Structure 1
């Protein structure tokens, strides 16, 4: 019997494997995005991010031979090197795009018009001909070389600090903070007062208000966008930060009130009754007792509201439209980068990682409150 009980159930193993699979599905793209943000465009185009730590062989762009000719006996010679750095090791080379790996390093081949060309392993070349190269077009050389691991901060400098970068993310980053921080704090403050009233204060219509809050949880966001935008325009707060703050507040309040109210109902009744016997007002009870005890629930909702607001695109497009780009948020900026820099994967990877860095930091900093707050506030 002991041996049977000590064996884990197949459901436990299935649960563990599922958790590992989910973590891997989330972790691999995130790590790939992080690694790609430090790679050059050439590296991203030729190898996957998982090869970033290893030396790779890849074809380099064609290089046209150039230099001053000298006389060596009866021959005219041009000597030089194909690369400005010394750590490049050529494995194959060629003079035609149809056969870029036709020759080995050190091999002397016919370069046309009676000329011969030799390319060494380190990129040094020697082009010789019995006739002068003046007025002639020199051949191109295609190389396949070993590339050591290379990482650069240039992508981040360009994305965040380059003054010539019109699609810079620095201003969009601060615009997103301007939207997200108030849109997270405002609904928490309002919902905390409302949740306390619905949990511990007796007044007519309280049950109907609770039912209305639960009903608002299922209202689709898209259904309220146009009426809310028309209301904002009528009262003069549309197309600005105030309008988007109030929109996020309205869309986040039902869930916030629901979670906080259910959490506050579960707090010990004796503490609140003793405070009332001691003469504490409802406001004093709320500030000095309820809020400190409700911190896990407040933190769990703050995480969700912050992540949802930070990653939002739809509400920003509707309530924060600005033709000058002064209020453009990061999600909209990345969409524009996809159109203007669709082939610059290093810029897109860096911009995308900049946009997820803050949510990751917030999530990992407050994750210990997440499960406890949600379970306490959603199950009653």
Structure 2
């Protein structure tokens, strides 16, 4: 007997779904963007023209500044001189004031960033009684004007002999900046993945290890952006330095020293003020350009999940 072979049926493959057509990127409509670019160019020019005038005036002699506008310097290029910068850098204690600004800004920013990060981690990742109420009180301090507390703090400093010292200015800047630091960093740390902290806790990590090994490295963009912002703020501060330090050359920062260059009655020394302004903005401009990438990352952190 011969076995009849069963007919074999080839496996039918399902038809492939037609791939969706690729979307072609629309051509850029440059004519439609021309008004936008023109508007941005005009805004940039409005911001740059006063800066250009300040820069040109810093290289002009006193007589030329008092008789003609800064735009007239391009008609007589021989009027440019470096005497203003030489006078500013060699006299008026501006070199000492530059060092004083560093001694005020760097420790103050370090203190407010450190304490702000610790407090933000506590509010974001630790549970304790009254946490929400305490955080609400911290947020309420954001709306308290700084000028309201200057007189009481100055009286306290006179009693404790902190007036006229760098330590007193560090504490003032740190105290006024802490609410903003806690508010900014707490929102960033609260958005970190909770699974990382839970896994570390299961491995036996302490709260200090959670903060140092997980929260701080992941919060680096936010910490950098806050530190840059506060560095610019403290460096350009005049009110706090003038009230709590005074105008003594041994403790006066750049803002106080620059304000003393011009005679309030006669207005003489205006050309020195323009040169001193560019000397004072050199350090914060260098810091911002160096850490600009971290600043932008910190501002955009958490915008896209």
Give the TM-score normalised by structure 1. 0.66
Specify the structure having the higher radius of gyration (Cα). Answer: 1
The answer for the alignment partner of 1:189 in structure 2 is 114
The 1:245/1:13 distance shift into structure 2, 3 A limit, reads farther
The answer for the alignment partner of 1:311 in structure 2 is 236
Report the Cα distance in structure 2 between the residues aligned to 1:234 and 1:345, rounded to whole angstroms: 39
What is the CA-CA distance between 1:368 and the residue it aligns to?
A: 2.3
Residues 27-77 of structure 1, C-alpha deviations (whole Å, 9 max, x = no match): 22223323332333344345544454x443xxxxxxxxxxxxxxxxxxxxx
1:184 match: secondary structure: helix
The answer for the alignment partner of 2:198 in structure 1 is 273
The 1:292/1:234 distance shift into structure 2, 3 A limit, reads same
**Out of 229, 237, 242, which is 2:154 matched to?**
229
Q: Does the 8 A contact of 1:240 with 1:320 survive in 2? A: yes
Residues 54-113 of structure 1, C-alpha deviations (whole Å, 9 max, x = no match): 443xxxxxxxxxxxxxxxxxxxxxxxxxxxxxxxxxxxxxxxxxxxxxxxxxxxxxxxxx
What is the CA-CA distance between 1:205 and the residue it aligns to?
A: 1.1
Residues 297-321 of structure 1, C-alpha deviations (whole Å, 9 max, x = no match): 1111111211111111111121112
Residues 226-258 of structure 1, C-alpha deviations (whole Å, 9 max, x = no match): 111122223332221111110000111111111
Q: Does the 8 A contact of 2:164 with 2:251 survive in 1? A: no
The answer for the alignment partner of 1:126 in structure 2 is none
Write 1 or 2 for the structure with the bigger share of helix: 2
**Out of 259, 262, 276, which is 1:351 matched to?**
276
- Unaligned 5+ runs, structure 2: 1-23
The 1:234/1:330 distance shift into structure 2, 3 A limit, reads same
The answer for the alignment partner of 1:142 in structure 2 is none
Considering Cα pairs closer than 8 Å and 6+ residues apart, tell me whether 1 or 2 has the greater RCO: 2
Aligned CA-pair RMSD: 2.9
Q: Does the 8 A contact of 2:93 with 2:249 survive in 1? A: no
Give the TM-score normalised by structure 2. 0.81
- Unaligned 5+ runs, structure 1: 57-147
Residues 245-299 of structure 1, C-alpha deviations (whole Å, 9 max, x = no match): 1000011111111101101111122222222222222211211221111111111
The answer for the alignment partner of 1:158 in structure 2 is 87
Write 1 or 2 for the structure with the bigger share of strand: 1
The 1:227/1:360 distance shift into structure 2, 3 A limit, reads same
Report the Cα distance in structure 1 between the residues aligned to 2:117 and 2:138, rounded to whole angstroms: 14
Report the Cα distance in structure 1 between the residues aligned to 2:142 and 2:37, rounded to whole angstroms: 32
Aligned pair count reads: 281
